[in-house]
Structure 1
Amino acid sequence: MKLLLIRFSSIGDIVLTTPVLRCIRRQYPDAEIHFLVKQSFKAVVAHNPHIDVIHTLDKDLNANIETLKKIGFDYVIDLHRNLRTMRVKRAIDAPALTFDKLNFRKWLYVNFKWNVMPDKSIVDRYFEGMRPLKLQNDGQGLDYFIAPQQETRQDDIPMGHWAGFIACVIGGSYATKKFPVSKWRELAQQSPYPMILLGGPEDRDEGNEIAAVDPGKVYNACGKFSLNESADLVRRSKVVITNDTGLMHIAAAYKKPVVSLWGNTTPEMGMFPYYGFNNLNQNVAQLSVIHEVKGLGCRPCSKIGYPSCPKKHFKCMVDIPVGPVIESVKKFWKL
C-alpha cells in the first residue's frame, strides 16, 4: 500500500502530524509512506524514520502533481486541507482522507467569542479523519528526529549553562503571539536559573535587549543555530518557556516540561502542547502549564495572529504576570 501525506507548513503544524505517521508505520508496516512538504520546512521531517519518500514543494505545484500521479497511491491523506491540497487530491486517482478544520466554530469563537471548540487536540481530530484506515492513536504523543551531526556540543553554550538551563523561545510567527521584550526582561531579572534565548536571526536584536539584563545568566542564541540545532537545545534543557510556536511542539515531542505563554491565540483552538491523549480539562498533561489572561473580551482576536495588537493595548500578553511563570519553572526544575 502506498500512502501520500500532505502538510506543507509550518513547523509546529508538521510536528503535530507525526503521531499519524508513526501509527501508520506501526499498524501498516509494509506501507510505503510519502510526505509532501514545502522545501523550506523539509528539515522538520528530513530524519523521520517513518517516512520513505519526501516530496518538496518549491513554487511549481504542477510539477509535483505530475510526479505524484505516476506513483499510484492507494490513499492521499490531507493534513493541511487548503486549495492547493485540493488540487493534489483531484489530480491523483485515489481515495482521499482529511480532517475537520472546524473553521465555522473558529469563526464563531474569534468573532463572537462563542467557544464551541471541542476539548481535544488537533492530533485527535487527525485520527478521527483516518477512520477508513482503522488507524488507532497509540497515545505516545509527538515525535521529532534530528541527525547526530545536528546535535549541539557542550562548548556551543556558555559553561555557566552546562549544569542546566531554561530554553526560552522568544520568537513567533506573529507579533501578537510573542511575549513582549519588557516581560522577558522582567522574567530574566527574576529567574534563579540560567536561560538560553531561542529564535531566528530576526529575533537577535530583541534577544540582545533581554540578555543585557544579565549577560552571564542569559545567553542569546537567536540566529546562531539552525532549526534542528535549536531543537537539540530544547531537548537538552530542563524546562522550556515558550510562545505558541513551533519549538513548543518540538519540546512536547521531547517530553520536556513546557511553560507556554498565550497571547491573541488560545489553547482551545486545539494546538496546545500534546503528550498523548491529553486535553485541557479532563486529562491535563502533567508536563504542561499554560499561562494566559482569561476573560479578556477581545481574545481570541484571530486564529493565527497579527503584526500588532488591533486594540493597541496588547493586554493578552502584557497582563500575564511574571511571578507565576517563574513558580511554574521552579516546580518543573525539581523533576
Structure 2
Amino acid sequence: MKALVIGPSWVGDMMMSQTLYRMLKAEQPDRIIDVMAPAWCRPLLSRMPEVNQALAMPLGHGALELGERRRIGKALRDSHYERAFVLPNSFKSALVPFFAAIPQRTGWRGEMRYGLLNDIRKLDKDAFPLMVQRYAALAFPADKIRQASDLPELLWPRLEVAEQEKIETAAQFGLHGERPIIGFCPGAEFGPAKRWPHYHYATLAAELIQRGWQVVLFGSAKDEPAGEQIRTALTDEQRVWCHNLAGKTQLEQAVILLAHCDAVVSNDSGLMHIAAALDKPLVALYGPSSPDFTPPLADKARIIRLITGYHKVRKGDAGEGYHQSLIDIQPERVIAELDRLLAPTAERE
C-alpha cells in the first residue's frame, strides 16, 4: 500500500500529524508514506522514520492556483498511490489527490469537499476533542472509530536525532560541555499575548546559571529581540552563559540543539511541540491559548496555566502587550517544575 498525505502548514500541526503516520505503519508495517507539505517541513519529516519521502508543496498557504494544483496532481499519477489522507480542512488542500486520481481519498468534511474526497468524514468535535485524535482517527474505517475512546493507544510524535549530530552542532554554535543546557523558547505566534514575560525568563535564567546551567534561547528571527531583552536583563557575568540563537539557526539545527538540551521551557509554540517530540523534560507555559486542543504530547511535559477556557486574545492588556495570566506565572513555580522533572536525572547521576 502506497499512501500520500497532504500535510499541515504549521509546525505544531505537522508534529501532531506524525501520530497518524505511526498509527498507519503500526497497522500495516510495509505501507509506504509520502508527505506533501511546504518545503520548510523537510527537516521535521526527515526525522520521522515512518515517512518515506517529503514532497515539497510549492504553493503558498493561501493560494488556490487551480491550474498549478492540477499540474502537480497529474504529475503524481505515475507514483501509483492507492490512498490519500488530506489533513488540512480547506477545499484547495484536497485538489492535488483528486487530480492525481488516487482511488481512496480520506479526510474530514471541512469546506464542503464532496467529490474531491470519496472517504469523507463528518467531524463531531466533542467526540474528538484533541487535534491528534482527529488525525489518528483517519487511519481507521469511519464505522470503527466514532469517538476518541474507540481509538487504540495513540503513538505520540517522536523525532530521531543522532548523538553525533548533537555534539557537532553544539560545537558549531560554541556550546561546549562545561555546563549542561536548558533551552528557552520565548517566542510565540501573534506577538506577546502568548509569551511569558521576558523579565520572568531573565529571572529564571539567572537562577539556573547560578545553579551551574547554561541557557540557550531558540526561535525565529522575529524572536531575536525578545531573546535580547532576556540577555540584557542579566549581569555581564550571567550573559556569558546565556546564548541567544533566535534567528541564527535553521530549523534543522534548532531541532538538533533542542535534542541536546537537558530540559526546555517554552511558550505555546511550534518549538514546544518539537521539544515534546524529542521527549525532553518540558515546562509549557500557557495563557490565553488553551492546551485543551493541542497540548504537548509527552510524558515528561508539564503544563502551567492559571486560567481556563480559550481566550481569543491577540494583544495582552498588561504592560508591553503581555497577558496578565502569563505575568502571574512566577519564575519560582517554573523552577519547582523543572526541579521535579530533572530529579530522576540527578538521582541517576
**TM-score (normalizing by structure 2):** 0.76
Of 72, 79, 102, the match for 1:71? 79
Question: Is residue 125 of structure 1 aligned with residue 141 of structure 2?
Answer: no
Question: Is residue 209 of structure 1 aligned with residue 261 of structure 2?
Answer: no
**Separation (CA, whole Å) in 2 of partners of 1:36 and 1:243:** 28
In structure 2, the residue matched to 1:83 is: 91
Question: Is residue 183 of structure 1 aligned with residue 213 of structure 2?
Answer: no
Query: SS of 1:184's equivalent?
Result: helix
Q: Is the 8 A contact 1:160 1:194 kept in 2?
A: no
In structure 2, the residue matched to 1:36 is: 36
Question: Is residue 242 of structure 1 aligned with residue 249 of structure 2?
Answer: no
Q: Is the 8 A contact 2:7 2:88 kept in 1?
A: yes
Give the drift of 1:181: 1.9
Of 304, 308, 320, the match for 1:291? 304
Of 270, 275, 295, the match for 1:272? 295
**Unpaired stretches in structure 2, ≥5 consecutive residues:** 60-67, 111-124, 146-150, 345-349
Q: Is the 8 A contact 1:198 1:230 kept in 2?
A: yes
Deviation digits for residues 188-223 of structure 1, max 9, x if unmatched? 233343211111222222212212313023221212
After superposition, the Cα gap between the structure-2 partners of 1:323 and 1:99, relative to the gap in structure 1 and judged at 3 Å, is: farther
**Separation (CA, whole Å) in 2 of partners of 1:100 and 1:189:** 50
Give the drift of 1:272: 0.7
**Separation (CA, whole Å) in 2 of partners of 1:243 and 1:9:** 19
In structure 2, the residue matched to 1:112 is: none
After superposition, the Cα gap between the structure-2 partners of 1:167 and 1:310, relative to the gap in structure 1 and judged at 3 Å, is: same
In structure 2, the residue matched to 1:309 is: 316
**TM-score (normalizing by structure 1):** 0.79
List aligned pairs for 1:1-12, cutoff 5 A: 1-12=1-12
Give the drift of 1:168: 0.5
**Separation (CA, whole Å) in 2 of partners of 1:121 and 1:300:** 14
Give the drift of 1:57: 0.9
Give the stretch that moved more between structures: 250-259 or 122-131: 122-131
Q: Which residue identity does 1:273 align to in structure 2?
A: P
Query: SS of 1:241's equivalent?
Result: strand
Query: SS of 1:267's equivalent?
Result: coil
Query: SS of 1:263's equivalent?
Result: coil
Query: SS of 1:264's equivalent?
Result: coil
**Separation (CA, whole Å) in 2 of partners of 1:37 and 1:119:** 24
Deviation digits for residues 65-123 of structure 1, max 9, x if unmatched? 2223443322111222222223234433422222588xxxxxxxxxxxxxx85686422
Larger radius of gyration: 2
Q: Which residue identity does 1:194 align to in structure 2?
A: Q
Give the stretch that moved more between structures: 234-243 or 179-188: 179-188
In structure 1, the residue matched to 2:14 is: 14
- Could you say what the CA RMSD is over the residues aligned between the two structures, in angstroms? 2.9
Q: Which residue identity does 2:157 align to in structure 1?
A: L
Give the drift of 1:250: 1.7
List aligned pairs for 1:32-181, cutoff 5 A: 32-59=32-59, 60-91=68-99, 92-99=101-108, 121-132=130-141, 137=152, 139-146=154-161, 151-153=166-168, 154-156=170-172, 162-175=178-191, 176-181=193-198
After superposition, the Cα gap between the structure-2 partners of 1:34 and 1:164, relative to the gap in structure 1 and judged at 3 Å, is: same
Give the drift of 1:17: 1.2
Q: Which residue identity does 1:233 align to in structure 2?
A: L
Give the drift of 1:259: 0.2
After superposition, the Cα gap between the structure-2 partners of 1:99 and 1:146, relative to the gap in structure 1 and judged at 3 Å, is: farther
In structure 1, the residue matched to 2:62 is: none
Query: SS of 1:29's equivalent?
Result: coil
Q: Which residue identity does 1:301 align to in structure 2?
A: H
Q: Which residue identity does 1:205 align to in structure 2?
A: P
**Separation (CA, whole Å) in 2 of partners of 1:83 and 1:100:** 9
Of 198, 210, 218, the match for 2:242? 218
In structure 2, the residue matched to 1:106 is: none
Deviation digits for residues 289-326 of structure 1, max 9, x if unmatched? 1111215xxx6233xx63x3378662132222221011
Give the drift of 1:247: 1.8
After superposition, the Cα gap between the structure-2 partners of 1:207 and 1:161, relative to the gap in structure 1 and judged at 3 Å, is: farther
Q: Which residue identity does 1:272 align to in structure 2?
A: P
**Unpaired stretches in structure 1, ≥5 consecutive residues:** 102-115, 276-284
Q: Which residue identity does 2:228 align to in structure 1?
A: N
Q: Which residue identity does 2:268 align to in structure 1?
A: D
Query: SS of 2:275's equivalent?
Result: helix
Q: Which residue identity does 2:289 align to in structure 1?
A: T
Q: Is the 8 A contact 1:37 1:57 kept in 2?
A: yes
Deviation digits for residues 202-248 of structure 1, max 9, x if unmatched? 22222122123130232212122221221122112111101111221
Give the stretch that moved more between structures: 194-203 or 124-133: 124-133
